[in-house]
Amino acid sequence: AQTVTQSQPEMSVQEAETVTLSCTYDTSESDYYLFWYKQPPSRQMILVIRQEAYKQQNATENRFSVNFQKAAKSFSLKISDSQLGDAAMYFCAYRKNTDKLIFGTGTRLQVFP
Amino acid sequence: DTAVSQTPKYLVTQMGNDKSIKCEQNLGHDTMYWYKQDSKKFLKIMFSYNNKELIINETVPNRFSPKSPDKAHLNLHINSLELGDSAVYFCASSRLGQRSSYNEQFFGPGTRLTVL
């Protein structure tokens, strides 16, 4: 069965600095999708960034980028120029084709001014 | 324009009661999901429907019964509520499509259920 592991329950960063959130996963599939979701205190689940496993190029969305290492089954999220509004729970998620999302346990990110 | 909506957003009830949570999406998607987020923030799939057909049914007690009257709606009915059912329940929807669509899942705002 596929699993997703986030080993950092909490992280903190100074405003304007860069932080990296870790995620590893386990799967025997070769074709799948990986996602990072943000959940602020409002509890709304917001898609931050996504990566298709067959693409070697790392995805980038403005200040958010990923480091996708397929062989190592690693999918970390880098947030550059951190802002107070980035404070939230961040969930790494895996999905095989059109199947369900499998989530990691989440990382709580605090941003200090 | 709300893409995925859930009602109610908050639900407080007594143990043993029966309650329903409703979900509607106006995105034209054909697949809908129910996820449960427990007190430790862990999110897990419960059910998934595609074109009104149940396609995912994780290990969920029989007290939970999803119903999809049409592609735009997926309701969750819970019988004989227990303390352990307290959680946030999220509805989501997506389109089963080609690779290029990413099949992104759009989430509703969640329903916080508290069982006393």
Q: What is the domain-level CATH number for residue A96?
A: 2.60.40.10
Question: How many contacts does A have with B, using Cβ atoms within 8 A?
Answer: 51
Domains and CATH numbers, chain B: 4-96+106-115 (2.60.40.10)
Q: Indicate yes or no: CB of A89 within 8 angstroms of CB of B41.
A: yes
Q: pLDDT per residue over A74-110, tens digit each?
A: 999 999 999 999 999 999 999 986 678 999 999 999 9
Q: Which of A45, A95, A98 sits opposite B107 (nearest CB)?
A: A45
Q: Indicate yes or no: CB of B41 within 8 angstroms of CB of A99.
A: no
In this prediction, residue B102 carries a pLDDT of: 62
Tell me phi and psi for residue A36, to 5 degrees. -120, 125
The burial class, CB within 10 Å (0-12 / 13-18 / 19+), for B91 is buried
Q: Which of B45, B88, B110 sits opposite A101 (nearest CB)?
A: B45
Domain hosting A90: range is 3-112
Q: pLDDT per residue over A60-78, tens digit each?
A: 999 999 999 999 999 999 9
In this prediction, residue B52 carries a pLDDT of: 81
Instruction: Find where tokens 């909490």 sit.
Output: A10
Cα separation, B27 vs B97, whole angstroms: 14
In this prediction, residue B100 carries a pLDDT of: 47
Q: Which of A42, A98, A106 sits opposite B103 (nearest CB)?
A: A98
H or E segment and range at residue B56: strand B53-57
Residues of chain A contacting B, Cβ within 8 Å: 33, 39, 42-45, 47, 50, 52, 89, 91, 95, 97-103, 105-106
Cα separation, B106 vs B61, whole angstroms: 25
Alpha-carbon torsion (A93, A99, A100, A102), positive or negative: negative
For the ranges A2-16, B40-54, B59-73, the one whose mean pLDDT is highest: A2-16
| C-alpha torsion A59→A75→B100→B58, nearest 10 | -150
The burial class, CB within 10 Å (0-12 / 13-18 / 19+), for A28 is exposed
Residues in chain B closer than 8 A to A89 (CB atoms): 41
Residues in chain A closer than 8 A to B97 (CB atoms): 98
Count the domains in chain A: 1
In this prediction, residue B83 carries a pLDDT of: 96
